[in-house]
Amino acid sequence: MQRCGHHVSDASHARRPDPVGILAGWGDYPLLLARRLRAGGRMVVGLGLRDHANPELARCCDHFYWIGIGSFGRAVRLLARHGVREALLAGKLRKVEFFRPGVWWRHRPDWKFLLRFGPLLFSRTRDRKDDTLLGAVVAAFAREGVTIVPPTDLVPELLAPVGLWTRRAPTRYQQQDILFGWELAREMGRLDVGQTVVVKGRATLCVEAIEGTDACIARAGELCPSGGFTVVKVAKPQQDMRFDVPTVGRHTIRRLIQAGAGCLAIEAGRTIFLDRNEVVQLADRHGLVIVSLERPEQLFEHLPRRQAA
């Protein structure tokens, strides 16, 4: 059987130790993880969130199943069936789904989901911040004997190192916007509102909230049709690397180009940087600056030019 360029025989499948689960949301990140893990000899059990995960993920896993937002009991049973004790959360959950009419009819919560998450989701007294919801998911799986681990522990090479990625470097005005936007983004992260801010001329154009990064960037393009704005994406000060880690890839870069952005600044060491070759080539063709920093003051130090891997 051929999957993602790997031939898997029954014998080799049986020999694979330490199966790992991937609970997959939207985006390319789950696919890349599955490919890297299988190339490293891990058996991968994929659980794709309905209406979110890329169907191509089924070809990148040894075993794959579709689940709904409310299918916690089914997810636990499927992982147990394949002996999975360690799992990863990868890809985006579009939180706006929770506010669409008929969401629970489409995703039909099972009794175990209601037991674990009902008090949180249907409470009038508890918040539904990302860290609150995803922290509850981690705790619920732990009670079922499945440990959620940071994906970057298994594939640390996906984290962006410090450096300038593109031929163009930030201009003096873009440097000022990065400094301004960095502190704003850090504060928004501390409040668990979002990870991305868009600024121009040290004025705030957009702040990411429940709509997500793509919609935030698109809104900036509508509000600033002259373009040339700077997008800053950083981790939360309290970032839990098991979930909701800032991620950029080719889809993000296409959105930036379409909206007219001039510069993207990301946090090195705590941002997942996907499809680097394609991203850097695309950015260079359109004159987009990409820089990764551990702290904004590094703008005024010598930044190594990075080579896409």
pLDDT tens digit sequence for 89-125? 999 887 776 667 766 667 678 888 888 887 777 766 6
pLDDT of residue 98: 66
Cα gap 276→244, rounded to integer Å: 20
- Whole-structure pTM value: 0.86
CB 303 within 8 A of CB 163: yes
Residue 232 confidence (pLDDT) = 98
Q: Are residues 217 and 140 in the same domain?
A: no
| Host domain of residue 99 | 2-154
What digits encode the pLDDT tens for the residues 173-214?
999 999 999 999 999 999 999 999 999 999 999 999 988 899
Give the end of a domain, one of 125, 154, 183.
Answer: 154
Instruction: Compute the average pLDDT of residues 278-282.
Output: 96
Question: Is residue 16 domain-resident?
Answer: yes
- Domain end, chosen from 103, 120, 154, is at 154
pLDDT digits over 258-276, tens only? 999 999 999 999 999 999 9
Instruction: Kindly state whether residues 114 and 179 are assigned to the same domain.
Output: no
Q: Examine the fold and report which residue of 111, 137, 154 is the final residue of a domain before the chain moves on.
A: 154
Residues 131 and 191 in one domain: no
Contacts with 99 (C-beta within 8 Å, 6 or more apart), sequence order: none
pLDDT for 13 beyond 50: no
Confidence of residue 15 (pLDDT cuts 50, 70, 90): low
Whole-number pLDDT of residue 4: 55
For residue 59, tell me if it sits in a domain: yes
What is the distance between the alpha carbons of residues 257 and 287, in angstroms, rounded to a whole number? Answer: 9
9 pLDDT tier (thresholds 50, 70, 90): very low
Domain count, the chain: 2
Asked if 128 and 166 sit in the same domain, the reply is no
Mean predicted lDDT score pLDDT of the chain: 90
Query: Both 77 and 131 in a single domain?
Result: yes
Split at pLDDT 50, 70, 90, the class of 11 is: very low
* Range scoring the smallest mean pLDDT among 133-137, 161-165, 269-273: 133-137
Note whether residue 305 is domain-resident. no
**Does 185 fall in a domain?**
yes
Res 7 pLDDT > 90: no
Identify the CA nearest to 198 among candidates 130, 105, 263, 152.
Answer: 263
- Whether residue 54 is found in the same domain as residue 169: no
**Does 146 share its domain with 204?**
no
Distance CA 131, CA 306 (A): 32
Question: Does 196 share its domain with 239?
Answer: yes
Q: How confident is the model over 243-262, as a mean pLDDT?
A: 95
8 Å CB contact between 18 and 86: yes
Mean pLDDT of 153-165: 94
Q: Assess if residue 307 is contained within a domain.
A: no
At residue 22, does pLDDT exceed 70?
A: yes
CATH code, domain with 189: 3.40.140.80
Q: Are residues 273 and 204 in the same domain?
A: yes
